[in-house]
Amino acid sequence: MRELKLTNTLTGEREIFQPIDPERVTMYVCGPTVYNLAHIGNARPVVVFDMLNRVLRELYPSVIYARNITDIDDKIINAARERGQAIDAVSTEFADKYREDVAALNTLTPDLEPHATDNIPAMIDLTERLIKAGNAYPADGHVLFAVESMPGYGALSGRKLEDMLAGARVEVADYKRHAGDFVLWKPSAADEPGWDSPWGRGRPGWHLECSAMIRAHLGDAIDIHGGGRDLIFPHHENERAQSCCAYGGDFVRYWVHNAYVDMDGEKMSKSLGNVRTIRDLLSSYHGEVLRFALLSAHYRSPLNFSQELLDSAKSALDGFYAALRNNQDVEPAHINVTDCVAFDALLDDLNTPESIAALHAASKALNKAIDADRAKAKGMLLACGTALGILQVDPEVWFTGGGDNDLSADVIDKLIAERRDAKANRDFARADQIRDELIAAGIVLEDSPEGTIWRRA
* Contact criterion met (CB below 8 Å) for 8 and 255: yes
Q: Does residue 353 belong to the site contacting RNA (CB under 7 A)?
A: yes
Spatial CB neighbours of 405, under 8 Å, sequence gap ≥ 6 = none
Q: Rank residues 60 and 153 by Cβ distance to RNA and give the closer one.
A: 153
Residues 22-41 that bind RNA (CB under 7 A): 30, 32-33, 41
Residues 187-216 that bind RNA (CB under 7 A): 206
Kindly indicate which of the ranges 239-247, 278-286, 303-311, 379-387 contains the residues binding RNA, using the contact rule CB under 7 A. 303-311
Among 361, 375, 407, 441, binds RNA (CB under 7 A): 361
Helix axes 120-132, 237-247, angle to 10 degrees: 70
User: How far apart, in whole angstroms, are the C-alpha atoms of residue 347 and residue 332?
Assistant: 25
Smallest distance from the beta carbon of 120 to RNA, in angstroms? Answer: 18
Spatial CB neighbours of 445, under 8 Å, sequence gap ≥ 6 = 416, 419, 435, 438, 439, 452, 453, 454
Among 57, 279, 360, 376, binds RNA (CB under 7 A): 360
Smallest distance from the beta carbon of 231 to RNA, in angstroms? Answer: 4
The pattern of x and - marking residues 418 through 437 that bind RNA according to CB under 7 A reads: -----x----x--xx--x--
Beta bridge partners of 183: 144
User: How far apart, in whole angstroms, are the C-alpha atoms of residue 279 and residue 345?
Assistant: 30
The pattern of x and - marking residues 91 through 130 that bind RNA according to CB under 7 A reads: ----------------------------------------
Q: Kindly report the number of other CB atoms within 10 A of residue 137's CB atom.
A: 18
Q: Rank residues 132 and 267 by Cβ distance to RNA and give the closer one.
A: 267
Q: Does residue 303 belong to the site contacting RNA (CB under 7 A)?
A: yes
144: left (phi over 0), alpha (psi -120 to 50) or beta: beta
Spatial CB neighbours of 147, under 8 Å, sequence gap ≥ 6 = 153, 161, 178, 180, 181, 182, 241
* Contact criterion met (CB below 8 Å) for 161 and 273: no
Residues 143-182 that bind RNA (CB under 7 A): 157-159, 163-164, 166-170, 172, 179-180, 182
Q: Does residue 50 belong to the site contacting RNA (CB under 7 A)?
A: no
Among 17, 26, 28, 45, binds RNA (CB under 7 A): 45
- Burial of 450 per CB tally in 10 Å (0-12, 13-18, 19+): exposed
Alpha helical stretches, state H, 104-147: 120-132
219: left (phi over 0), alpha (psi -120 to 50) or beta: left
Q: Does residue 186 belong to the site contacting RNA (CB under 7 A)?
A: no
Residues 54-83 that bind RNA (CB under 7 A): 75
Kindly indicate which of the ranges 17-25, 312-320, 327-335, 383-391 contains the residues binding RNA, using the contact rule CB under 7 A. 312-320
Beta bridge partners of 303: 261
Question: How many residues touch RNA (CB under 7 A)?
Answer: 77
Residues 268-287 that bind RNA (CB under 7 A): 268
Smallest distance from the beta carbon of 60 to RNA, in angstroms? Answer: 23
Alpha helical stretches, state H, 26-140: 40-59, 74-83, 87-103, 120-132
Q: Kindly report the number of other CB atoms within 10 A of residue 363's CB atom.
A: 23
Q: Rank residues 139 and 179 by Cβ distance to RNA and give the closer one.
A: 179
Using CA atoms, how far residue 424 sits from 347, 417, 421, 437, 446, in Å, is 54, 11, 5, 19, 16
Q: Does residue 261 belong to the site contacting RNA (CB under 7 A)?
A: yes
Q: Rank residues 278 and 393 by Cβ distance to RNA and give the closer one.
A: 278
Kindly indicate which of the ranges 94-102, 243-251, 292-300, 392-400 contains the residues binding RNA, using the contact rule CB under 7 A. 292-300
Smallest distance from the beta carbon of 15 to RNA, in angstroms? Answer: 14
User: How far apart, in whole angstroms, are the C-alpha atoms of residue 433 and residue 378?
Assistant: 36
Q: Rank residues 12 and 151 by Cβ distance to RNA and give the closer one.
A: 12
Among 234, 285, 375, 376, binds RNA (CB under 7 A): 234
Q: Rank residues 29 and 63 by Cβ distance to RNA and give the closer one.
A: 29
Among 184, 231, 281, 289, binds RNA (CB under 7 A): 231
* Contact criterion met (CB below 8 Å) for 257 and 231: yes
Using CA atoms, how far residue 380 sits from 321, 377, 389, 436, in Å, is 13, 5, 14, 36
Among 188, 274, 277, 296, binds RNA (CB under 7 A): 296
Q: Does residue 44 belong to the site contacting RNA (CB under 7 A)?
A: yes
Residues 400-419 that bind RNA (CB under 7 A): none
Kindly indicate which of the ranges 103-111, 307-315, 328-336, 377-385 contains the residues binding RNA, using the contact rule CB under 7 A. 307-315
Q: Does residue 258 belong to the site contacting RNA (CB under 7 A)?
A: yes
Among 282, 357, 375, 407, binds RNA (CB under 7 A): 357
Among 195, 233, 247, 285, binds RNA (CB under 7 A): 233
Using CA atoms, how far residue 157 sits from 148, 244, 298, in Å, is 16, 15, 21
Q: Rank residues 132 and 368 by Cβ distance to RNA and give the closer one.
A: 368
CA 47 to chain centre: 3
